Amino acid sequence: MDFDNKVIVITGASSGIGAAAALLYAKQSAKVVLVGRNEESLNKVAKQCEDARGIKPLTIKAELSHDDDVKNIVTKTINIFGRIDVLVNNAGVGVQGSILEGVELLDRAIATNLRAVYHLTSLAAPHLIKTKGNIVNVSSVAALRPIKDVNYLPYCISKAGLDQFTKCLAVELGRQDVRVNSVNPGGTNTPFAETAGFTKEQVSELYKSRSSLYPLGKMAESEEVADLILYLSSDRARSITGSIYVIDNGEILV
């Protein structure tokens, strides 16, 4: 896969799937733009990326629910690199909640998991049209089925909306030779559950119980999901757009 000198913008790049994808792109000599909330973690990922091929990444601290921060991502990227070839909308929040708890939890989930993606993509789209680039959205199996062991109602709804966004955008941008696809992981070994409010002990038990139910008997690793992201954003996938790729060890089947 040839990403030599391609400019790749990755949100949620300070850990987990985003960090794994950033490192894989860096190993392919890409110019990586790392976006995240934790500056210390971003800098650690940036060093790993620079060590891979000697290309210094651009790091941008941003809260994606803040419009000015989102605008700054595109402005800084264009000022430094002059182009955008791939946008990986990876950042997301896991919001638990019941319908009985009101609409505020849904607002929180939508703000990061859908509205921010829409906003950032709308700003990046003119640059992606110029480069005939592409977009990979990181969604979830939660977009395709309810999560049985956690009350993730707001999260599920936000990710279902993201999948429809992927399909609609693929139709709109296809005539400009911009591809749009989605990667939908199931249970994956990342800090995601802890940021959603689970303790380390709860995460350990959750992963153990889930692994025992999955047909392949294990959780996915961030690097496995990152491999799929790279493939979909490469020229090898030049005939793929508007597609939803599940990577879940068979979770959706049980």
CATH code of the domain covering residue 93: 3.40.50.720
Give me the sheet containing 134-138, strands edge to edge.
Answer: 58-61, 31-36, 7-11, 86-89, 134-138, 179-185, 244-247
Whether the predicted pLDDT of 156 surpasses 60: yes
Rounded (to 5) percent helix, strand, coil in the chain:
55, 15, 30
The structural domain count of the chain equals: 1
Whether the predicted pLDDT of 196 surpasses 60: no
Does 253 fall in a domain?
A: no
Does 158 fall in a domain?
A: yes
Does 198 fall in a domain?
A: no
Whether the predicted pLDDT of 212 surpasses 70: yes
CA nearest to 172, candidates 100, 118, 115: 118
Q: What is the pLDDT of residues 75-111, one digit of tens each?
A: 999 999 999 999 999 999 999 999 999 999 999 999 9
Whether the predicted pLDDT of 234 surpasses 60: yes
- Which domain range does residue 160 map to? 7-192+222-248
Does 214 fall in a domain?
A: no
Whether the predicted pLDDT of 124 surpasses 90: yes
Residue tagged active-site, from 25, 155, 214, 245: 155
What's the pLDDT at 197? 63
What's the pLDDT at 201? 77
Does 204 fall in a domain?
A: no
The pTM for the full model equals: 0.93
CA distance 15 to 69: 19
Does 217 fall in a domain?
A: no
Whether the predicted pLDDT of 198 surpasses 70: no
Does 83 fall in a domain?
A: yes
Whether the predicted pLDDT of 207 surpasses 90: no
Does 254 fall in a domain?
A: no
What's the pLDDT at 193? 60
> Catalytic annotation on 214?
no
φ/ψ (deg, to 5) at 59: -105, 135
Contact 14, 36 (CB under 8 A): yes
